[in-house]
Structure 1
Amino acid sequence: MSDTSEEERDFEEQLRELLSEDAYTIRPSPAPYPRIRRQGVVERRRRVAVAGAALVTLAAVPVGAFAVGGGGTGVADTATTPSASASPTPTATPSPTPSGPAGPATAEQLRDGITREQAVEGLHKCLAWERENVAMGARDSHLGKADEYRIILALNSTGDLNAPGDGIWVVAVKEQPTQIRLACNIKDGEASGANISGGSDRQPDSPPVVADINANKLYQQSFLNKGNWKLPFSWGFIGEVDPTVAKVTVSYGGSTSEAVLDHGWFAAAGTLTEQVTRNPHVKGYDKGGKLIYDSDEDETYQQVQ
């Protein structure tokens, strides 16, 4: 055996010893209990997040992932001048029809000029896309039919470095037999991906207002765009409320808008014109106007992006 081969073998043995030692000496910082509990809730729920072709090309990189823990006080936004959505005027919720889902509680939940017909068509395309691209795999589709859903939000989507191309988001919920929240992205008239949550985020000890665990899909751009968002940016925010909640406000980028309460859900939206660093600030009030929830006091809510 040559001297070179022996030297390479000695080097490899030394490297393995060093790595072995590091494995015992390096210790990760302990995570706070709320973060551990929140993560456990997520893992117990059936969750499917399917992306379009552009996202698939970056599947090895966890870009845009939602950090489900966090706490502490809020950090000031860098944005100061985005537009706020107008306070909604409640209207009667349309009944579902054989051809499609129920509409939202108010017209304000259909943003950016998107019509109910466009939102319904998008949901149909999304369910068909999911059946074709997911149900053919390891699991059967349990999403059901479009007329079992209620649309709670529709707004423009902004393409970014992770998923190029602008389009629209359609967010719909289904309560029976299992709660499903479906956020579908439509680009060039075709479904390009879906984010699906099965089961409620609410737990027995949850606060009266619970932000949807994947709401960041609607109010953030890709991590690859951090510090350089495409603006203006149409954002949305959704979550669940219990019956004690009569009003929810969402502040984002220096502006505050009142969310719509829609059959146990809240939905808010607005427009950013400058980059932000803080996640939306959420407050909930009871019928008497008393503050009963503040995301700044919620240890399970992530304050900073």
Structure 2
Amino acid sequence: MSEEERDFEERDFEERLRELLSEDAYTIRPSPVPYPRIRRQGVVERRRRVAVTGAALVALAAVPVGAFAVGGAGTGTADTATTPTASASATPAPTPSPTPSGPAGPATAGQLRDGITLEQAASGLDKCLAYDRDRVAHGGTASSDLGKPDEYRIILALNSTGDLNSPGDGIFVVAVKEEPQETRLVCNIKGGEASGLGISVGSDRQPDSPPVLADTNNNKLYQQSFMDKGNWKLPFGWGFIGTVEPSVAKVTVSYGGASSEAVLDHGWFVASGTLTEQVTRNPHIKGYDKAGRLIYDSAEDTSYQQVQ
């Protein structure tokens, strides 16, 4: 690993450490230790790898306080309104790839937000894969071959907002593949170049996982930096992803007091919307079976952190 990469990871680690220390400073007493989530995350993280700028994030995923936390203004404040993006719960055929050798597109056009085209998202994915290859070539750790762009399906693209720790706006591209093993990439592109890549290799799911399971690194998609806590740039476009079992026919995600129906895209659920005011609670997720029965509610999931 180069000296520049080490410095980058140290800065990121310091920021996350400040997040955890500051978060308890906002509360009268520390948050209760979420033992079920810690156990589940401990198993998951043994099969996970996060490269690039956010390498320290997964290392902190099993910390009791703030492990799934995001930027916000503390506890106890009511959520505020958003403008949701609604979409169908069924899984249509994915959009064809922009080129014969490119990644497949998402199930619906609404998963490409903010005017981002499939061609732009595919180009961003290609740059992020090249970024990872270059990182490994310069001494970075490689636990898996990420493969080629045409092995992936893009499930979400949206604008990203810069912060004090990582200035400059850009776009996020989320891409997944199933073979030879489940892989999820969250790419950040700024100024036409890859600036960060979050990698998850291997399924998050465990035998005791709920039928609807939020992705462990969602915070990058629905939060702004803890460094700017209490002073988000608005309006703020957010995204939220996770996996579902075959029994799930519908997923809703409420954020900031407004609810939208997520797209079910080949075993993944994808939701997005736009906040017009800063919030203090994490998205609220519900899952329903084909008969319309509620089979998952994140408000009752002890492994899911409710408050930012």
Output the TM-score relative to the length of structure 2. 0.80
Could you say if the C-alpha distance between residues 295 and 124 of structure 1 is closer, same or farther in structure 2, counting changes exceeding 3 Å? same
Aligned to 1:105: 107
Aligned to 1:248: 251
Give SS of 1:153's match: strand
1:88-133 CA-partner distances (Å, limit 9, x unpaired):
4864213555421000000010011111111111101110111112
Runs of 4+ in 1 over 6 A off after TM superposition: none
- Count of residues paired in the alignment: 265
Aligned to 1:34: 36
- Alignment of 1:45 with 2:47, yes or no, is yes
Q: Give 1:41 deviation, angstroms.
A: 2.1
Between the aligned partners of 1:288 and 1:35, the Cα distance in structure 2 is 29
Aligned to 1:185: 188
- Alignment of 1:230 with 2:233, yes or no, is yes
| Contact residue 202 and residue 210 of structure 1 kept, 8 A | yes
Q: Give 1:136 deviation, angstroms.
A: 3.2
Could you say if the C-alpha distance between residues 78 and 138 of structure 1 is closer, same or farther in structure 2, counting changes exceeding 3 Å? same
Could you say if the C-alpha distance between residues 49 and 76 of structure 1 is closer, same or farther in structure 2, counting changes exceeding 3 Å? farther
Give SS of 2:104's match: coil
Between the aligned partners of 1:250 and 1:29, the Cα distance in structure 2 is 24
Between the aligned partners of 1:166 and 1:38, the Cα distance in structure 2 is 33
Could you say if the C-alpha distance between residues 274 and 49 of structure 1 is closer, same or farther in structure 2, counting changes exceeding 3 Å? farther
Q: Give 1:50 deviation, angstroms.
A: 1.4
Percent identical across equivalent pairs? 72
Aligned to 2:3: none
- Unmatched segments (≥5 aa) in structure 2: 1-29, 70-74
Could you say if the C-alpha distance between residues 29 and 163 of structure 1 is closer, same or farther in structure 2, counting changes exceeding 3 Å? closer
| Contact residue 255 and residue 284 of structure 2 kept, 8 A | yes
Between the aligned partners of 2:298 and 2:158, the Cα distance in structure 1 is 24
- Alignment of 1:279 with 2:256, yes or no, is no
Q: Give 1:39 deviation, angstroms.
A: 3.2
| Contact residue 152 and residue 173 of structure 1 kept, 8 A | yes
Between the aligned partners of 1:226 and 1:292, the Cα distance in structure 2 is 34
Output the TM-score relative to the length of structure 1. 0.80
- Letter aligned with residue 294 of structure 1: D
Between the aligned partners of 2:140 and 2:110, the Cα distance in structure 1 is 39
Aligned to 1:84: 84
1:199-249 CA-partner distances (Å, limit 9, x unpaired):
111111111000000011100111111111111111000000000000000
- Alignment of 1:115 with 2:130, yes or no, is no
- Unmatched segments (≥5 aa) in structure 1: 1-27, 70-74
Between the aligned partners of 1:32 and 1:290, the Cα distance in structure 2 is 27
Aligned to 1:94: 95
Q: What's the Cα RMSD here?
A: 2.5
Give SS of 2:50's match: strand
Could you say if the C-alpha distance between residues 30 and 185 of structure 1 is closer, same or farther in structure 2, counting changes exceeding 3 Å? closer
Higher alpha-carbon Rg: 1
Give SS of 1:47's match: coil
Between the aligned partners of 1:224 and 1:86, the Cα distance in structure 2 is 31
| Contact residue 105 and residue 152 of structure 1 kept, 8 A | yes
- Letter aligned with residue 151 of structure 1: I
| Contact residue 77 and residue 254 of structure 1 kept, 8 A | no
